[in-house]
Structure 1
Amino acid sequence: MRLVQFNQHGQQCLGLELSENGDLINLNKADESIPRDMRTFLECGEDTWNKARSASNRKDCLVKRNCVKILAPITSCEKVLCIGMNYTDHCKEQNADIPAEPVVFNKFPSCIIGPDDSLSYPEEAKLLDWEAELVIVIGKTAKHVKLENAIQYVFGFT
């Protein structure tokens, strides 16, 4: 079961994907108290998550996947923190030393796009490289978390 944000008839909704690339349960139709965006959903805590779980069998709220536009998992984040040079092959490809410490940088939240959105780039670009990204979604406030407790703060990944 996977949570997704989607757009249907010009309205953002939160849904449950019951199988990979399958149809969705519209959580907002199942329970109007469930937020329409993932960030607010995460901030609401366990009670809201339980409401979402209980809606998983609501076939009356089923939405065909080909009738909606899947959005980015989180569309209203404050920051995007990145770790660079984190693959040995990538460092070698760049003729760069493997860093002893993580290379941390940030991107603007406007860089986030949905899985089927087109990537815009300047027409002057002659060669475009690609990357695969793994995003860890932190689901609750965390500060000075011990390594052995870190997974307790992870809501999911995309």
Structure 2
Amino acid sequence: MRLVTYATDGVAAGGVLVGDRVVDLASAVAHAAREDSGPPRPLPVRAYLERRLDHVAVAAAAGALARAGEGVTLDEVRLLPPVPDPEKILCIGLNYRDHAEEAGLQLPSEPMVFAKFRNSLIGPADAIVLPNAVERVDYEAELAVVIGRRGRAIPEELALRHVAGVTVFNDVSARDMQAATSQWTMGKAVDTFGPCGPSLVTLDEAGDLGDLRLRTRVNGATVQDGTTADMVFSVARLISHLSRAMTLEPGDIIATGTPAGVGFKRTPPVLLKDGDLVEVEIDGLGTLANRVAGPAAELAGGVTAVATA
């Protein structure tokens, strides 16, 4: 199943992507439960994950509703990040062997963890807005894992049971801010610097998380082409490690690192500028395609907030 958050008339709701149609998630849940009590209230994706419902039954119900003509087409909605309101966005640094090599750094012995926040999240077609404060803005293609089941001190062998699904993530980075201190948060948690989506793909459809191909294109030219097989720490290891320190909650996002080819390490460097088109694609999961906008968009209010129902 492919879960989305979509906006119509300024209000966001959870949905199920069936082909090119979006079926309301609350309607699919009600149909799966054979409930007929009138139009249901919108159901956010995070609230759906917290209820731990049967994905197979809900997916089947969404398919039946789509075949009956229910829902809307993708061109009628604005897709937001699949989970626009996570409690935590946890990111992993230097988790690909080839990226550590291009950075001239040793492989970490323990996962390197930093954070982004909700202010960074944007949808699969929203603009990455360059703030006045930065000059060296970079892309990073990443597989993002979304937690579906609450857990603390999770054994590695049980970790994937806590995963709702995966999605595509772009860990946009302000390299000048990132390099200014030993702490990375200021360079990573910038507004709009977390494109995510287009959908949350449940594990039954996602394939082998240890063998997914990631690519980044800037203005059509491929600048990253890697595979999750090159990860230093697997998804299961990361979940187990993080849960040693904190309780992982449904909707939490874990961005698992990027392969080689980042812009500031290329010759000549490929740094993002106003008007660029950045596409991040993971086989089987979809593509993020975000334009880059200059600081004028920030000053003009180019970042639009949409209320979550």
Normalising to structure 1: TM-score of the pair?
A: 0.86
Q: Which residue identity is paired with 2:2?
A: R
Structure holding more strand per residue: 2
Deviation at 1:114, TM superposition (A): 0.7
- Equivalent position of 1:38 in the other structure: 45
C-alpha separation in 2, matches of 1:78 and 1:62: 29
The reply to whether residue 111 of structure 1 matches residue 109 of structure 2 is no
- Equivalent position of 2:13 in the other structure: 13
C-alpha separation in 2, matches of 1:152 and 1:34: 29
Structure 1, unmatched stretches of 5+, are none
Question: Which deviates further from its counterpart, 23-32 or 132-141?
Answer: 23-32
Question: Which deviates further from its counterpart, 31-40 or 56-65?
Answer: 31-40
Structure 2, unmatched stretches of 5+, are 31-38, 168-309
Sequence identity of aligned pairs in percent?
A: 35
C-alpha separation in 2, matches of 1:3 and 1:72: 10
- Equivalent position of 2:145 in the other structure: 136
Q: Which has the higher contact order (CA 8 A, sep 6+)?
A: 2
Q: Secondary structure at the match of 2:138?
A: coil
Deviation at 1:132, TM superposition (A): 0.8
- Equivalent position of 2:131 in the other structure: 122
The reply to whether residue 64 of structure 1 matches residue 62 of structure 2 is no
- Equivalent position of 2:213 in the other structure: none
Deviation at 1:124, TM superposition (A): 5.5
CA pair 50-34 structure 1, distance change in 2 beyond 3 A: farther
- Equivalent position of 2:25 in the other structure: 27
CA pair 45-15 structure 1, distance change in 2 beyond 3 A: same
Q: Which residue identity is paired with 1:3?
A: L
RMSD: 2.2
CA contact (8 A) 1:24 1:64 kept: yes
CA contact (8 A) 2:13 2:43 kept: yes
Q: Which residue identity is paired with 1:143?
A: R
C-alpha separation in 2, matches of 1:28 and 1:10: 18
How many residues align? The count is: 156
CA contact (8 A) 2:6 2:78 kept: yes
Deviation at 1:52, TM superposition (A): 5.6
Deviation at 1:29, TM superposition (A): 5.0
Of the candidates 85, 109, 115, which is equivalent to residue 76 of structure 1?
85
Normalising to structure 2: TM-score of the pair?
A: 0.46
Q: Secondary structure at the match of 1:133?
A: strand
CA contact (8 A) 2:13 2:45 kept: no
